Amino acid sequence: MALFKKSPGKVRLLVLGTGGMAQAHATAFAKDPRVELVGTVDVMPGRAAEFAKKFGIKKHFTDLDKAIKWGQFDAATNVTPDSIHYPTTMKLLAAKKHVLCEKPLAENFKLANEMATAAEKAKVINMVNLTYRAVAGLQKAKQIIASGEIGEVRHVEASYRQSWLVGNHWGAWDKLPMWLWRLSEKHGSKGVLGDVGIHILDFTTYAIGMMPTNLQARLKTFHKAPGDKIGEYVLDANDSASMIVEFQNGAQGVIHASRFMTGYGNTLRLNVFGTKGGLEIQNDHDLTTLRVCSGEDVHTQAWRDIVKTEAEPANYLKFIDAIVSGKNGDPSFRRAADLQKILDACFTEEASKAVKL
């Protein structure tokens, strides 16, 4: 696939958005000697100027259109609020800019698909910042599964475990806007499913190299405050989400996520069981464990820790790699759209049909 390739010289990057996550992006890109931060945009007056000053960026804008008109950049990293990803990215694509977009790519499959299609037509680098790709051990897990060491996948158990609705380790969920908005659909939240369910879906399907072909799902919002409301926040977004999925080869599995998995801060756990072995990977920040039972060990249930793992670089680096090489990186917009399709399905009435007991 011949995409627009980077001309010699540094990649000139526009930072779209100036919030906390944008600062993380800017900090990461600033370390890459192949990148020059050339502009930043924020619609809130003064914020772009301040951000530009902090990161030594020459140009700042309060309007993406003006930045595009100026045009002296090769690529943009889109760190705007979730609902703004679509309109801003579409403009960038129209201007033939490479785009790294924060997750979720869009609010639903229709928009995400449109974005993926537009990016493919524009032949620009298009990536989504699904951060858990960089987990030490995920690449190794994927390689082990792809090598056939555990045979054909038969059964999967995957979960994303958080507990910030119980513990105070991430601050007061009932006071801080950064958590409250995640509990409210009107504030753009798709609940735990949209927030981290997408990560465990990506993690799982990336590791096993297969997508689900059908699913059943259950979303649950628990009563957490009088009138299910705190200030302006209506607490209606899902807190727990559970799925039964069937994969392309007929394997089945459960995938679930909750903000009530007390005792876990931010844990992804994946168990993959095949016809010749089993594999388990668990990650929480820098702590990853990966173990395998295969070969003759399937008869004795002996497990060995995989002690040599090689983490993928962060998406920031992979985005620049892609621009430099002219070969699109993974996870792409297309990948994000495919995941969005699964999330959308979870919200359908049909997915949650249950038998009363």
Scanning residues 287 to 306, which ones bind a second copy (CB under 8 A)? 287-290, 293-294, 296-306
Q: Does 265 bind a second copy (CB under 8 A)?
A: yes
Q: Does 226 bind a second copy (CB under 8 A)?
A: no
Strand partners, 273: 155, 278
In angstroms, the first-to-last Cα distance of the chain is 54
Out of 34, 91, 216, 234, the residue judged to bind a second copy by CB under 8 A = 216
Cβ(173)–Cβ(189) under 8 Å? no
Q: Does 214 bind a second copy (CB under 8 A)?
A: yes
Question: Three-state DSSP class for 173?
Answer: coil
* Tokens matching residue 108: 């639903």
Q: Does 321 bind a second copy (CB under 8 A)?
A: no
Closest distance to a second copy from the beta carbon of 263 (Å): 3
Closest CB to a second copy among 117 and 266? Answer: 266
CA distance 344 to 304: 38
CA distance 56 to 69: 21
Q: How many residues bind a second copy (CB under 8 A)?
A: 86
Closest CB to a second copy among 290 and 322? Answer: 290
Question: Three-state DSSP class for 211?
Answer: coil
Q: Does 167 bind a second copy (CB under 8 A)?
A: yes
CA 175 to chain centre: 25
CA distance 211 to 197: 15
Closest CB to a second copy among 40 and 205? Answer: 205
Closest CB to a second copy among 45 and 286? Answer: 286
Out of 33, 45, 226, 227, the residue judged to bind a second copy by CB under 8 A = 33
Out of 258, 315, 328, 332, the residue judged to bind a second copy by CB under 8 A = 258
Strand partners, 96: none
Question: Three-state DSSP class for 113?
Answer: helix
Closest CB to a second copy among 134 and 306? Answer: 306
72-131 residues near a second copy, rule: CB under 8 A: none
